[in-house]
Structure 1
Amino acid sequence: MIDTATKIAAGLERAFVAQGFAEPNVEALRAAADVSLRTLYKYTPSRGEMVLAALEHRHARYIAHVFDDLPSPGPAALESVIIKIGEWMSQEAERGCLFHAAVAASPRDARLHDLLRRHKSDVAKRAAIAADLADRENDIAVIIEGLTQSWPLLQNEAVTSTLSLARLLRR
Protein backbone atom coordinates (compact mmCIF):
# COMPACT_ATOMS: atom_id res chain seq x y z
CA MET A 1 0.00 0.00 0.00
CA ILE A 2 1.35 3.43 -0.90
CA ASP A 3 1.12 6.45 1.35
CA THR A 4 -1.21 9.35 0.59
CA ALA A 5 1.56 11.75 -0.50
CA THR A 6 2.87 9.23 -3.04
CA LYS A 7 -0.64 8.49 -4.30
CA ILE A 8 -1.27 12.20 -4.82
CA ALA A 9 2.10 12.78 -6.51
CA ALA A 10 1.56 9.82 -8.85
CA GLY A 11 -1.89 11.05 -9.83
CA LEU A 12 -0.65 14.58 -10.39
CA GLU A 13 2.23 13.29 -12.50
CA ARG A 14 -0.19 11.34 -14.69
CA ALA A 15 -2.44 14.39 -15.10
CA PHE A 16 0.42 16.70 -16.08
CA VAL A 17 1.83 14.14 -18.54
CA ALA A 18 -1.56 13.69 -20.17
CA GLN A 19 -2.78 17.29 -20.15
CA GLY A 20 0.26 19.51 -19.75
CA PHE A 21 0.68 22.12 -17.04
CA ALA A 22 -1.77 24.77 -18.22
CA GLU A 23 -4.86 22.73 -18.98
CA PRO A 24 -5.89 20.69 -15.94
CA ASN A 25 -7.94 22.63 -13.42
CA VAL A 26 -7.86 21.82 -9.72
CA GLU A 27 -10.86 19.49 -10.02
CA ALA A 28 -9.12 17.49 -12.75
CA LEU A 29 -5.98 17.31 -10.62
CA ARG A 30 -8.01 16.24 -7.59
CA ALA A 31 -9.70 13.52 -9.63
CA ALA A 32 -6.36 12.32 -11.01
CA ALA A 33 -4.99 12.11 -7.46
CA ASP A 34 -8.17 10.29 -6.37
CA VAL A 35 -8.46 12.18 -3.10
CA SER A 36 -10.73 14.84 -1.68
CA LEU A 37 -10.00 18.47 -2.40
CA ARG A 38 -9.20 18.95 1.28
CA THR A 39 -6.62 16.13 1.20
CA LEU A 40 -5.11 17.40 -2.03
CA TYR A 41 -4.60 20.86 -0.51
CA LYS A 42 -3.35 19.38 2.76
CA TYR A 43 -0.45 17.70 0.94
CA THR A 44 -0.02 20.20 -1.90
CA PRO A 45 -1.39 23.59 -0.81
CA SER A 46 -0.92 25.32 -4.17
CA ARG A 47 -0.71 24.51 -7.85
CA GLY A 48 3.02 25.17 -7.68
CA GLU A 49 3.35 22.58 -4.92
CA MET A 50 1.32 20.15 -7.02
CA VAL A 51 3.75 20.54 -9.92
CA LEU A 52 6.76 20.10 -7.63
CA ALA A 53 5.27 16.99 -6.01
CA ALA A 54 4.57 15.47 -9.41
CA LEU A 55 8.09 16.19 -10.64
CA GLU A 56 9.75 14.89 -7.46
CA HIS A 57 7.76 11.69 -7.90
CA ARG A 58 8.76 11.48 -11.55
CA HIS A 59 12.42 12.04 -10.67
CA ALA A 60 12.38 9.11 -8.24
CA ARG A 61 10.69 6.84 -10.78
CA TYR A 62 13.12 7.89 -13.53
CA ILE A 63 16.18 7.29 -11.36
CA ALA A 64 14.92 3.84 -10.39
CA HIS A 65 14.08 2.94 -13.99
CA VAL A 66 17.40 4.09 -15.43
CA PHE A 67 19.87 3.17 -12.69
CA ASP A 68 18.54 0.05 -11.01
CA ASP A 69 20.13 -3.25 -12.05
CA LEU A 70 23.02 -1.88 -14.11
CA PRO A 71 26.05 -3.94 -15.08
CA SER A 72 29.34 -3.24 -13.29
CA PRO A 73 30.72 0.27 -13.91
CA GLY A 74 32.10 0.71 -17.40
CA PRO A 75 31.03 0.93 -21.04
CA ALA A 76 28.28 -1.69 -20.74
CA ALA A 77 26.69 0.21 -17.86
CA LEU A 78 26.65 3.47 -19.82
CA GLU A 79 25.09 1.70 -22.81
CA SER A 80 22.49 0.22 -20.47
CA VAL A 81 21.73 3.71 -19.09
CA ILE A 82 21.22 5.06 -22.61
CA ILE A 83 19.00 2.15 -23.62
CA LYS A 84 16.94 2.55 -20.44
CA ILE A 85 16.54 6.27 -21.11
CA GLY A 86 15.29 5.39 -24.59
CA GLU A 87 12.81 2.94 -23.05
CA TRP A 88 11.65 5.65 -20.63
CA MET A 89 11.19 8.13 -23.45
CA SER A 90 9.22 5.58 -25.45
CA GLN A 91 6.97 4.56 -22.55
CA GLU A 92 6.77 7.69 -20.41
CA ALA A 93 7.85 10.79 -22.30
CA GLU A 94 7.03 10.59 -25.99
CA ARG A 95 6.55 14.37 -26.14
CA GLY A 96 9.82 15.13 -24.36
CA CYS A 97 11.12 15.95 -20.91
CA LEU A 98 8.41 16.82 -18.40
CA PHE A 99 10.89 18.87 -16.35
CA HIS A 100 11.64 21.14 -19.32
CA ALA A 101 7.91 21.39 -20.06
CA ALA A 102 7.26 22.52 -16.48
CA VAL A 103 9.93 25.23 -16.71
CA ALA A 104 8.55 26.34 -20.08
CA ALA A 105 5.07 26.63 -18.54
CA SER A 106 6.37 28.70 -15.59
CA PRO A 107 9.66 30.25 -16.73
CA ARG A 108 9.95 32.59 -13.74
CA ASP A 109 9.55 29.86 -11.11
CA ALA A 110 12.98 29.54 -9.48
CA ARG A 111 11.98 26.33 -7.69
CA LEU A 112 11.25 24.65 -11.02
CA HIS A 113 14.58 25.81 -12.42
CA ASP A 114 16.34 24.43 -9.34
CA LEU A 115 14.50 21.12 -9.63
CA LEU A 116 15.36 20.87 -13.33
CA ARG A 117 19.04 21.50 -12.54
CA ARG A 118 19.02 18.99 -9.70
CA HIS A 119 17.33 16.33 -11.82
CA LYS A 120 19.70 16.75 -14.77
CA SER A 121 22.74 16.94 -12.50
CA ASP A 122 21.74 13.81 -10.59
CA VAL A 123 21.24 11.87 -13.82
CA ALA A 124 24.58 13.01 -15.25
CA LYS A 125 26.44 12.23 -12.04
CA ARG A 126 24.93 8.76 -11.74
CA ALA A 127 25.57 8.04 -15.43
CA ALA A 128 29.20 9.17 -15.13
CA ILE A 129 29.70 6.90 -12.13
CA ALA A 130 28.01 4.01 -13.94
CA ALA A 131 30.27 4.59 -16.95
CA ASP A 132 33.35 4.81 -14.72
CA LEU A 133 33.96 8.22 -16.29
CA ALA A 134 33.46 10.59 -13.36
CA ASP A 135 35.75 13.15 -15.03
CA ARG A 136 33.42 13.30 -18.07
CA GLU A 137 30.18 14.14 -16.24
CA ASN A 138 29.49 17.27 -18.32
CA ASP A 139 30.10 15.40 -21.58
CA ILE A 140 27.72 12.67 -20.47
CA ALA A 141 25.16 15.30 -19.42
CA VAL A 142 25.22 16.86 -22.88
CA ILE A 143 24.93 13.48 -24.60
CA ILE A 144 21.98 12.39 -22.45
CA GLU A 145 20.27 15.75 -22.81
CA GLY A 146 20.67 15.42 -26.56
CA LEU A 147 18.86 12.10 -26.38
CA THR A 148 15.95 13.41 -24.33
CA GLN A 149 15.55 16.58 -26.39
CA SER A 150 15.80 14.85 -29.77
CA TRP A 151 13.53 11.94 -28.81
CA PRO A 152 10.25 13.52 -30.04
CA LEU A 153 11.78 13.95 -33.51
CA LEU A 154 14.12 10.98 -33.89
CA GLN A 155 12.81 8.42 -31.39
CA ASN A 156 14.91 5.21 -31.55
CA GLU A 157 17.38 6.81 -33.94
CA ALA A 158 18.25 9.17 -31.08
CA VAL A 159 19.24 6.16 -28.96
CA THR A 160 21.43 4.79 -31.75
CA SER A 161 23.18 8.14 -32.18
CA THR A 162 23.58 8.56 -28.43
CA LEU A 163 25.20 5.14 -28.15
CA SER A 164 27.64 6.12 -30.91
CA LEU A 165 28.52 9.37 -29.16
CA ALA A 166 28.93 7.64 -25.81
CA ARG A 167 31.46 5.23 -27.32
CA LEU A 168 33.60 8.21 -28.32
CA LEU A 169 34.04 9.20 -24.68
CA ARG A 170 36.45 6.32 -24.12
CA ARG A 171 38.86 7.42 -26.86
Structure 2
Amino acid sequence: MDESEARQRVLSAAEELYYRKGYAAVGMDELRTAAGVSLRRLYGLFSSKGEIVKAVLARRHEEWEVALTARVDAAGPSARERLVAVYSYLEEWFCTDSFRGCAFINAFGELGGNDPEIAEIVRAHKASFQRYMAGLVADIGAPASLADQLSILAEGAQSTAAISGDPAVARQARDAAEVLIEVSVGER
Protein backbone atom coordinates (compact mmCIF):
# COMPACT_ATOMS: atom_id res chain seq x y z
CA MET A 1 0.00 0.00 0.00
CA ASP A 2 1.43 3.36 -1.02
CA GLU A 3 1.53 6.44 1.19
CA SER A 4 -1.58 8.01 -0.31
CA GLU A 5 -3.64 4.85 0.19
CA ALA A 6 -2.35 4.42 3.74
CA ARG A 7 -3.18 8.04 4.52
CA GLN A 8 -6.72 7.65 3.18
CA ARG A 9 -7.22 4.45 5.17
CA VAL A 10 -6.11 6.17 8.36
CA LEU A 11 -8.37 9.16 7.71
CA SER A 12 -11.36 6.98 6.87
CA ALA A 13 -10.90 4.88 9.99
CA ALA A 14 -10.31 7.97 12.14
CA GLU A 15 -13.38 9.74 10.78
CA GLU A 16 -15.59 6.74 11.46
CA LEU A 17 -14.17 6.03 14.92
CA TYR A 18 -14.08 9.66 16.08
CA TYR A 19 -17.61 10.28 14.87
CA ARG A 20 -18.99 7.11 16.45
CA LYS A 21 -17.01 7.03 19.71
CA GLY A 22 -15.65 10.53 20.23
CA TYR A 23 -12.26 12.07 19.64
CA ALA A 24 -10.88 11.52 23.12
CA ALA A 25 -12.09 7.92 23.37
CA VAL A 26 -10.11 6.67 20.37
CA GLY A 27 -6.47 5.90 20.94
CA MET A 28 -3.73 5.52 18.37
CA ASP A 29 -3.60 1.75 18.81
CA GLU A 30 -7.30 1.37 18.06
CA LEU A 31 -6.93 3.66 15.07
CA ARG A 32 -3.91 1.73 13.80
CA THR A 33 -5.82 -1.54 14.02
CA ALA A 34 -8.92 -0.15 12.28
CA ALA A 35 -6.82 1.36 9.50
CA GLY A 36 -4.72 -1.77 9.05
CA VAL A 37 -1.39 -0.01 9.34
CA SER A 38 1.47 -0.36 11.77
CA LEU A 39 1.93 2.15 14.55
CA ARG A 40 5.22 3.14 12.95
CA ARG A 41 3.47 3.80 9.62
CA LEU A 42 0.72 5.74 11.37
CA TYR A 43 3.25 8.06 13.02
CA GLY A 44 5.14 8.30 9.75
CA LEU A 45 1.99 9.67 8.12
CA PHE A 46 0.84 11.89 11.01
CA SER A 47 3.08 13.24 13.73
CA SER A 48 0.33 13.26 16.37
CA LYS A 49 -3.30 12.52 17.08
CA GLY A 50 -3.94 16.25 16.81
CA GLU A 51 -2.68 16.21 13.23
CA ILE A 52 -5.06 13.36 12.43
CA VAL A 53 -7.99 15.23 13.98
CA LYS A 54 -7.16 18.32 11.91
CA ALA A 55 -6.93 16.25 8.72
CA VAL A 56 -10.23 14.51 9.51
CA LEU A 57 -11.94 17.86 10.05
CA ALA A 58 -10.50 19.25 6.80
CA ARG A 59 -11.80 16.21 4.95
CA ARG A 60 -15.17 16.43 6.68
CA HIS A 61 -15.44 20.12 5.76
CA GLU A 62 -14.90 19.33 2.10
CA GLU A 63 -17.39 16.43 2.20
CA TRP A 64 -20.00 18.68 3.87
CA GLU A 65 -19.61 21.47 1.32
CA VAL A 66 -19.75 19.14 -1.67
CA ALA A 67 -22.80 17.24 -0.41
CA LEU A 68 -24.70 20.34 0.72
CA THR A 69 -24.02 22.19 -2.54
CA ALA A 70 -25.10 19.17 -4.58
CA ARG A 71 -28.37 18.92 -2.65
CA VAL A 72 -29.07 22.65 -2.98
CA ASP A 73 -28.20 22.62 -6.70
CA ALA A 74 -30.55 19.66 -7.22
CA ALA A 75 -33.44 21.73 -5.83
CA GLY A 76 -33.70 23.56 -9.15
CA PRO A 77 -33.51 27.13 -10.31
CA SER A 78 -35.84 28.69 -7.73
CA ALA A 79 -33.72 30.66 -5.24
CA ARG A 80 -36.28 30.08 -2.53
CA GLU A 81 -36.38 26.31 -3.09
CA ARG A 82 -32.58 26.22 -3.09
CA LEU A 83 -32.55 27.94 0.30
CA VAL A 84 -35.13 25.59 1.78
CA ALA A 85 -33.19 22.61 0.36
CA VAL A 86 -30.59 23.17 3.10
CA TYR A 87 -33.11 21.77 5.57
CA SER A 88 -33.99 18.86 3.25
CA TYR A 89 -30.29 18.03 3.21
CA LEU A 90 -30.25 18.08 7.01
CA GLU A 91 -33.27 15.78 7.15
CA GLU A 92 -31.64 13.26 4.81
CA TRP A 93 -28.49 13.35 6.93
CA PHE A 94 -30.39 13.04 10.23
CA CYS A 95 -32.17 9.94 8.87
CA THR A 96 -28.94 8.03 8.27
CA ASP A 97 -28.13 5.26 10.73
CA SER A 98 -24.71 6.75 11.38
CA PHE A 99 -25.90 10.26 12.33
CA ARG A 100 -24.23 11.37 15.57
CA GLY A 101 -24.50 15.13 15.25
CA CYS A 102 -22.12 17.62 13.73
CA ALA A 103 -18.52 16.40 13.76
CA PHE A 104 -17.39 20.01 14.22
CA ILE A 105 -19.63 20.68 17.19
CA ASN A 106 -18.49 17.36 18.66
CA ALA A 107 -14.83 18.28 18.12
CA PHE A 108 -15.34 21.70 19.65
CA GLY A 109 -17.10 20.21 22.66
CA GLU A 110 -14.39 17.64 23.27
CA LEU A 111 -11.24 19.46 22.19
CA GLY A 112 -11.95 23.11 21.42
CA GLY A 113 -11.50 24.35 24.96
CA ASN A 114 -7.99 22.93 25.17
CA ASP A 115 -6.82 23.17 21.57
CA PRO A 116 -7.01 26.62 19.95
CA GLU A 117 -6.19 25.18 16.52
CA ILE A 118 -9.18 22.82 16.64
CA ALA A 119 -11.37 25.68 17.88
CA GLU A 120 -10.26 27.81 14.93
CA ILE A 121 -10.94 25.00 12.42
CA VAL A 122 -14.45 24.64 13.83
CA ARG A 123 -15.04 28.40 13.73
CA ALA A 124 -13.84 28.54 10.12
CA HIS A 125 -16.19 25.71 9.14
CA LYS A 126 -19.17 27.41 10.78
CA ALA A 127 -18.24 30.78 9.20
CA SER A 128 -18.08 29.09 5.80
CA PHE A 129 -21.61 27.75 6.29
CA GLN A 130 -22.83 31.22 7.27
CA ARG A 131 -21.28 32.69 4.12
CA TYR A 132 -22.98 29.99 2.05
CA MET A 133 -26.33 30.80 3.67
CA ALA A 134 -25.71 34.51 3.09
CA GLY A 135 -25.29 33.82 -0.63
CA LEU A 136 -28.53 31.86 -0.75
CA VAL A 137 -30.35 34.61 1.15
CA ALA A 138 -28.97 37.28 -1.20
CA ASP A 139 -30.29 35.24 -4.13
CA ILE A 140 -33.87 35.63 -2.85
CA GLY A 141 -33.38 39.32 -2.18
CA ALA A 142 -33.97 39.07 1.57
CA PRO A 143 -32.15 41.13 4.22
CA ALA A 144 -28.71 39.83 5.18
CA SER A 145 -29.88 39.29 8.77
CA LEU A 146 -32.01 36.37 7.54
CA ALA A 147 -28.86 34.37 6.81
CA ASP A 148 -27.82 34.54 10.46
CA GLN A 149 -31.29 33.47 11.59
CA LEU A 150 -31.45 30.55 9.15
CA SER A 151 -27.93 29.46 10.08
CA ILE A 152 -28.89 29.37 13.74
CA LEU A 153 -31.91 27.24 12.85
CA ALA A 154 -29.71 24.77 10.96
CA GLU A 155 -27.10 24.63 13.73
CA GLY A 156 -29.76 24.18 16.39
CA ALA A 157 -31.40 21.43 14.36
CA GLN A 158 -28.10 19.53 14.18
CA SER A 159 -27.60 19.64 17.93
CA THR A 160 -31.23 18.89 18.77
CA ALA A 161 -31.44 15.97 16.34
CA ALA A 162 -28.22 14.49 17.72
CA ILE A 163 -29.48 14.70 21.30
CA SER A 164 -33.07 13.65 20.65
CA GLY A 165 -32.39 11.12 17.92
CA ASP A 166 -35.41 12.55 16.08
CA PRO A 167 -34.87 13.48 12.41
CA ALA A 168 -38.22 15.34 12.45
CA VAL A 169 -36.25 18.26 13.91
CA ALA A 170 -35.13 19.08 10.36
CA ARG A 171 -38.74 19.42 9.20
CA GLN A 172 -39.48 21.65 12.17
CA ALA A 173 -36.46 23.81 11.33
CA ARG A 174 -37.52 23.91 7.66
CA ASP A 175 -41.05 25.01 8.68
CA ALA A 176 -39.57 27.79 10.83
CA ALA A 177 -37.22 28.77 7.99
CA GLU A 178 -40.13 29.07 5.58
CA VAL A 179 -41.92 31.41 8.00
CA LEU A 180 -38.79 33.56 8.38
CA ILE A 181 -38.28 33.65 4.62
CA GLU A 182 -41.89 34.67 4.03
CA VAL A 183 -41.71 37.44 6.62
CA SER A 184 -38.34 38.68 5.34
CA VAL A 185 -39.27 38.71 1.68
CA GLY A 186 -42.68 40.16 2.45
CA GLU A 187 -41.09 43.11 4.29
CA ARG A 188 -39.25 44.33 1.18
TM class by shorter chain equals: 0.7 to 0.9
Distance 2:136 2:12 in 1: 28
Matched residue, 2:54: 52
Matched residue, 2:30: 28
2:20 and 2:100 in contact (8 A); partners too: no
Matched residue, 2:16: 14
Distance 1:94 1:123 in 2: 19
The aligned length equals 171
Matched residue, 2:107: 102
1:117 equivalent to 2:115? Answer: no
Q: 1:14 to 1:159 in 2, by over 3 A?
A: same
Matched residue, 2:149: 139
2:154 and 2:173 in contact (8 A); partners too: yes
TM-score norm. by structure 2 comes to 0.79
Distance 2:97 2:46 in 1: 23
Q: 1:158 to 1:44 in 2, by over 3 A?
A: same
Distance 2:39 2:143 in 1: 46
Root mean square deviation, CA, Å: 2.4
Deviations 1:33-63 (A, max 9, x none): 3333233223321111111111111111111
Q: 1:66 aligns with which of 65, 68, 79?
A: 68
1:86 and 1:159 in contact (8 A); partners too: yes
Alignment partner of 1:3: what SS? helix
Matched residue, 2:181: 169
Q: 1:56 to 1:73 in 2, by over 3 A?
A: farther
Deviates more, 1:137-146 or 1:83-92: 83-92
Q: How far off is 1:32 after superposition? A: 2.5
The structure whose Rg is larger is: 2
Displaced runs of 4 or more, over 3 A: 2-7
TM-score norm. by structure 1 comes to 0.86
Q: How far off is 1:16 after superposition? A: 0.6
Deviations 1:112-165 (A, max 9, x none): 111111111112222332342582332222111111111121623211111112
Matched residue, 1:42: 44
